[in-house]
Structure 1
């Protein structure tokens, strides 16, 4: 049992007088752990109780998303271009629209 942690966490934990064991993940393990962490952070953002907590969780979510992108060789510019393209072709979420039913 374990989880992906930020690089400075072991140092911080040890400075507090606690024990922590860590290991470096393989590239495949790292990719999987980043994807798990992405879901974890999204769930924490969903549960954020106030604006400050939401800002913190969104920052964590962005950090993990960008780490996954870097690991996969995806640039921030590519992500922003895809976001802009999708916004142009499908719109944004500013209209606050919610589908109540859909049939094909």
Structure 2
């Protein structure tokens, strides 16, 4: 089983004296791998213990999110604009609100 890795990982692994095999993903594979990696990084951020670990995982999560956005033709500016629009229309998480019940 493989996974999407950063570009320099093979070089780093080989410098440590280990063996790694890699291949370049096709378009559809890459898009799917980015989405899978996004979930992986989100789980790691959720499970991070301590500020330093959380910072590292959030940086990884952001890197994957921006890579997926770039692949889909979405700019960082568009993401920030959408974030601001969503904050205006739906608010943010400053209130620490948690829904305990919802009925429609």
Give the TM-score taking structure 2 as reference length. Answer: 0.99
Is 1:44 aligned to residue 44 of structure 2? yes
Could you say which residue in structure 2 is the equivalent of 1:71?
Answer: 71
Could you say which residue in structure 1 is the equivalent of 2:30?
Answer: 30
RMSD: 0.4
What is the CA deviation profile of residues 7-60 of structure 1, one whole-angstrom value per residue up to 9, with x for unaligned ones?
A: 000000011111100000001100000000000000000000101000000000
Q: How does 1:78-97 map to 2 (within 5 A)?
A: 78-97=78-97
> How many Å separate the matches in 2 of 1:84 and 1:22?
39
Equivalent position SS for 1:18: coil
* Gap runs ≥5 in structure 2: none
What is the CA deviation profile of residues 54-91 of structure 1, one whole-angstrom value per residue up to 9, with x for unaligned ones?
A: 00000000000000000010000110010000000000
How many pairs were matched up?
104
Equivalent position SS for 1:80: helix
Give the TM-score taking structure 1 as reference length. Answer: 0.99
> How many Å separate the matches in 2 of 1:13 and 1:71?
26
* Gap runs ≥5 in structure 1: none
